[in-house]
A and B are shown apart, each in its own frame.
Chain A
């Protein structure tokens, strides 16, 4: 499912809202989440999961072309930890698929 498909599904269910409003809302939510992480904040969504930053310590890397070693500064990377409900539902969906194909 892509962002535009997500917008379509929500627009179908929220038929009292114009498609354009749903589109703006989805983009607004994604932007707010990106901004939170870009500002070093966590995101905590009960039943879905949490997003946080993990620190990658500085290291000496190598340029694969020249073999030359380069110093890479420490950096933060976004990390997602699925919540309980999401973990369980994803796995239940999988177990159902396995049963159906058995």
Chain B
């Protein structure tokens, strides 16, 4: 099951005792402020989780896949996510668990 904004609001309600309205607004604002910073061209660094970086892409040739017509892909800025050390380590621990549970029993 994927984690959603509704799950996160529910968690804030249960863990921190924010009321439902406050919890919903908090989750909304968390993602909106990150979006706004990125829109303003600012990198976002959430220590322990990861960094949202911005990269500028030059214009490059493209093609309409349906018609085959050549149309340039204009210069643009894109968001990339670089997971932090702590998150990477936690996900690697999950990889190891998965590998261990997939191993056939030999005993």
Contacts and interface: CB of A to CB of B under 8 A. Distances in A.
A82 B2 CA distance: 16
Interface residues of A, number: 57
A91 B99 CA distance: 40
B11 interface: yes
Given A25-B26, A28-B12, A76 B77 contact: no
A29 to B, nearest CB: 6
A82 B79 contact: yes
A87 B55 CA distance: 12
Contact of A10 (B5, B30, B81): B30
B48 A30 contact: yes
A22 B27 CA distance: 11
Contacts of A90: 38-39, 54, 77-79
Interface in A51-100: 51, 53, 73-80, 82, 85-87, 89-94, 97-98
Interface of B: 1-5, 7-8, 11-12, 15-16, 18, 22, 25-27, 29-31, 33-35, 37-50, 52, 54, 56, 75-81, 83, 86-88, 90-96, 98-99
Given A24-B16, A37-B94, 4 more contacts: A17-B18, A38-B91, A42-B3, A93-B39
Shortest Cβ-Cβ A-B pairs, 8 listed = A80-B81, A94-B77, A38-B90, A75-B95, A93-B39, A42-B2, A36-B3, A78-B83
15 contacts: A1-B33, A3-B47, A10-B26, A13-B29, A14-B22, A25-B30, A26-B30, A30-B48, A37-B90, A51-B81, A76-B98, A78-B83, A78-B87, A89-B39, A94-B76
